[in-house]
Chains A and B, each alone.
Chain A
């Protein structure tokens, strides 16, 4: 229909505002970066309409100018991918710039949000598959969509080689800071993952393989299944502070096993694990699930670290009885505890030694649950009090049984409130929403599947 169609105005490049006087500089990518070659991170930020009636195109111009300024500090995003002598991807900082698409939509952003679904939301993101010659292919695309009756949507699509959702959020905040005041609160740092000399001297052999390494080994060696024409739908559920507290309480019914680092994530992850298993009809057994966690704190990295730092691991629960939820939570909690600095460093070491050319499509076999609590996307305020109305995360391409992304809510809704985005095959989404356990908490549906 006419209302709600996204019209592209134009596509152009945005380059950094200052020329780097060192042409030909290269940025190397870590082993964790290189694993994510086939994936993309996509984030959509919605901004409300305000009283000030800006002219059409005025915000687009402002954002373009500030994007230009902020890109001066992120040379890795304006460069182009190149394969080095060992056949690994690296970024040549040639100042090529990011691609920006300008678009407009009739109606206001509030109207859009009332009737948005996965398909519509993906129209606010622009992406082009890698060209045959990647040297002319920008790895970052930004789409700025102006709503004619008020409001703005910013869609950021980034190749997963360069950034994970955490640092993509960080980039958006830096951009917002630059638009607002010209100063970034957390300037980015680009360096390789920390590995001390002691770690290098350890020779990994089969006995010292941990679960983590096994998981990665299995993922890499397994043949990628053929992509099917499965249609997916995404539902966004908002859990308020009190709902999450209830969930935690329920999940810890069988004797709390001590304090865990992120009770909200564990409880919600367990909840969705149980519910999705029911939806997928695995008869009492819990569906295979992997967790994807941010390891920045674990490895003691500076908050400004820019690069992939999310590690996945499988959760096991052989069978669960009546108390499915608490047992699931316990299992998740144990896996989270086990992913410590030592384990990650061993993994990095192993990946370095077993570097082969085949890169798996991560997240394509199990159900995957991603913890994005580490960042607050609502800090990206582009103008005084212009906080995002809503933020959606996507990790594409979507293949496999499903994906659950747990991120923070808008401020003012309590410290434990969370937003859960679940992407599943179309037919399973409705079943999920109607599930008893989920209905017990009655979360608000921010984005569902629209039948119109």
Chain B
């Protein structure tokens, strides 16, 4: 409600007024149609059958007119059905579960940090402070090459990590969906920081012996939001190619990107990024309608790269000693907020119920005409979605979004727990969060899910899914052995 009356917002009476208003506006069509139909029915009953037959005869329909009208109706119907965009179904997805032997507890991370950065105690202190407040748990995993003192990030080790992560996820996907490698028509792999030649998509094609006429794409350099960019690309391709399967693989390869220097702004990714990956099967086949888990409703992409500050916000560069690292600027949160606002402005009209849109419009008009001092109305997205998957980029991102969208702790629980258990797995984090919600048995048919991801550039991408069938627990997946321990309370600062 507009904050001109803040004292009454907790009042019960106002809540019911709000509910009544929402019901009225959201169902306005039904509410106007019912009296009209009732009126017609009463009129028909009053007239009686003889009168209706007389009315019909007076219209003087002949065969030609009837045929033309029916052809017209059929033609319009055909054009409508042909031009309707194909429904894109998410049949199933699989997340990579790292082996327990890759686990990195806090104590080990800090000890290695101290040994490697022995000349820079200040940097070590900084890393410790970050880790204490990061929201990560003791079970996050790093690839084997990073466990060495000092780390040994060779190209071979990077390829090894890519193979383990991607092939495990794909094997799991094949098992879950019964998909045969020869049936993959479109393959999209996204991995931002590791881009070898031949590409990772070529690696997948080689391993699984995919068809020679496959449409493969490899997206690199697009940051943590590349997962949703890949979904968008798959959707566009599936509009063009009928009856096809698309496999999207989202991952981030940690091995080659461990920052070896001691510039503070660049040490942050070392503390937060962890091993992870996901493989998703999308399809536009009608036969998949019955077993698909979700249907893709919208994808909205927002790019703030035109603004210089946003462009330099997450920047890969060399530090003073020539060591390459990703530098995060101090106004990352502010820029993320701006990007989110932009994205919400676009997605709002697509998903919000009429009641919220009307309120937003009225407040907007009010601000423009009556009083610019009115605070802009933040639509209540909780009415548009049942579940939220916020990219687990860090605790600060989740806190910021929770505040901006006025979400409750339960809404952001999936994001926080995924960050705790798996760390920041970049583009695949959204899928770990989705898996969490499923594992908790909260995913019911008809639920709408909003996935939001931020990435370098600066980009904010959203995807809206609708649950196609209720997902029963227990589910297999990365949470299978630990879901009973969650949710877990994550203290503000973990004492190390």
Q: Which residues of A contact B (CB under 8 A)?
A: 10-15, 17-19, 23-24, 64-65, 68, 80, 94-97, 136, 138
Contacts and interface: CB of A to CB of B under 8 A. Distances in A.
A12 B149 contact: yes
Interface in B22-66: none
Contact of B105 (A10, A11, A64, A97): A97
Contacts of B111: 13, 96, 136, 138
Given A65-B101, A136-B114, A136-B115, A13 B108 contact: yes
B107 A96 contact: yes
A13 B111 CA distance: 10
Nearest to B152: A10
B447 interface: no
B482 to A, nearest CB: 10
Given A64-B101, A95-B107, 6 more contacts: A19-B138, A19-B139, A24-B495, A65-B99, A68-B100, A96-B107
A19 B103 contact: yes
Interface in B88-146: 99-101, 103-108, 110-112, 114-115, 137-139
A410 to B, nearest CB: 31
Contacts, number: 54
A11 B147 CA distance: 9
A15 B103 contact: yes
Interface residues of B, number: 22
B81 interface: no
B103 A96 contact: no
Contacts of A12: 147-149
Nearest to B110: A136
Contacts of B114: 136
Contacts of A19: 103, 105, 137-139
Nearest to B105: A95
Given A136-B114, A136-B115, A15 B149 contact: no
Contacts of A136: 110-111, 114-115
Nearest to B485: A21
Contacts of A97: 105, 107-108
B138 to A, nearest CB: 5
B346 to A, nearest CB: 42
A71 to B, nearest CB: 10
Nearest to A68: B101
B100 A17 contact: yes
Given A13-B112, A136-B114, A94 B100 contact: no
Nearest to B115: A136
Given A19-B103, A68-B100, A11 B148 contact: yes
A12 B115 CA distance: 11
A95 B108 contact: yes
Of the listed residues B110, B111, B112, B149, the one surrounded by the most CB atoms of chain A closer than 10 A to its CB is B111
A95 to B, nearest CB: 4
29 contacts: A10-B148, A10-B149, A11-B148, A11-B149, A12-B148, A12-B149, A13-B108, A13-B147, A17-B101, A17-B103, A18-B100, A19-B103, A19-B105, A19-B138, A24-B495, A64-B101, A65-B99, A68-B100, A80-B107, A94-B105, A94-B107, A95-B105, A95-B106, A95-B107, A96-B111, A136-B110, A136-B111, A136-B114, A136-B115
A203 to B, nearest CB: 42
A159 B110 CA distance: 22
A235 to B, nearest CB: 35
B148 A15 contact: no
Nearest to B137: A19
Nearest to A93: B107
A18 B152 CA distance: 25
A11 B116 CA distance: 12
A179 B101 CA distance: 14
Contacts of B100: 17-18, 68
Contacts of B149: 10-13
Contacts of A94: 105, 107
Interface string B363-389: 000000000000000000000000000
B7 to A, nearest CB: 45
Contacts of B148: 10-12
A18 B99 CA distance: 11
Contacts of A13: 108, 111-112, 147, 149
Contacts of B104: 15
Contacts of A18: 100
A15 B105 contact: yes
Contacts of B138: 19, 23, 95
A145 B448 CA distance: 56
A94 B494 CA distance: 13
Nearest to B111: A136
Contacts of B110: 136
Interface in B143-160: 147-149, 152
A64 B100 CA distance: 11
Q: Which 5 A-B pairs have the closest CB atoms?
A: A17-B100, A96-B107, A95-B105, A94-B107, A12-B147
Contacts of B139: 19
Nearest to A14: B101
Contacts of A95: 105-108, 138
A118 to B, nearest CB: 28
B170 to A, nearest CB: 22
Contacts of A64: 101
Contacts of B147: 12-13
Nearest to B99: A65
B439 to A, nearest CB: 19
Contacts of B108: 13, 15, 95-97
